[in-house]
Amino acid sequence: DLTSADELAKVEARLRDTERPVDLLVNNAGFGTTGRFAELPVEEEEREIKLNVLALTRLTGAAVPGMVTRKKGGVINVASIAAFQPTPGTATYGGTKAYVLSFTLALREELRRTGVKALVVCPGYTVTEFQSRANYKVNPLMSMASQTAEQVAASSLKALDRDTGFHVPGAQNKIVAGATHLLPRKLVVKVASLVSGQI
């Protein structure tokens, strides 16, 4: 449980172990909550931030210095297309993923010429247990663009190998991500709310 300080510290220690160096860190642990923020238990929102933001940051911080010393290695941080637009009904989740996007892109720039790669992956709807655990309603439009975890993982590893720094798996997801920069912010939020259907 990476929201536990003690258990997080164990993983950090493993990542810092110079006797067993880690060449690739994939920060994929995370969860989401659904509903109106004012009606959700704030303790669960805090736990979501601890896992999606704090644990990811600490584990990256534990792994990267050793990679830089060895002049090789890579970090894949998993965000979401939710990082591109505020989505009513999943406000905290989207906020955490926006952090992951910004943090990883900045980290990649800092790591230039060190031999260490950083990649942020922004998947769309991926078929996992995430949706059932978050009580997330999946509409038919999202299902049409769904991918398996294996598809996302395979394309992400290729993107890391090419050192793209940023990867949105799936053609339809690329269109959605790109459109968020073209539309007025107010409209983006309205459309995101309509498509997600969480409130």
- 131-138: long-range pairs with CB below 8 Å, 24+: 133/31, 134/31, 134/32, 134/33, 134/34, 134/90, 134/93, 135/34, 136/32, 136/34, 136/90, 136/198, 137/34, 137/196, 137/197, 137/198
Catalytic residue among 93, 99, 125, 136: 93
Three-state secondary-structure class, residue 145:
coil
Residue 11 CA to residue 134 CA, distance in Å, equals 25
DSSP 163: T
103: amino acid identity, one letter: F
Answer yes or no: 93 catalytic: yes
Bridge-based pairing of strands 166-167 and 116-121 is: parallel
Rg (CA), the chain: 17
Residue 101 CA to residue 98 CA, distance in Å, equals 5
- For the record, the structure tokens of 53 come out as 């933001």
Residues that are catalytic: 93
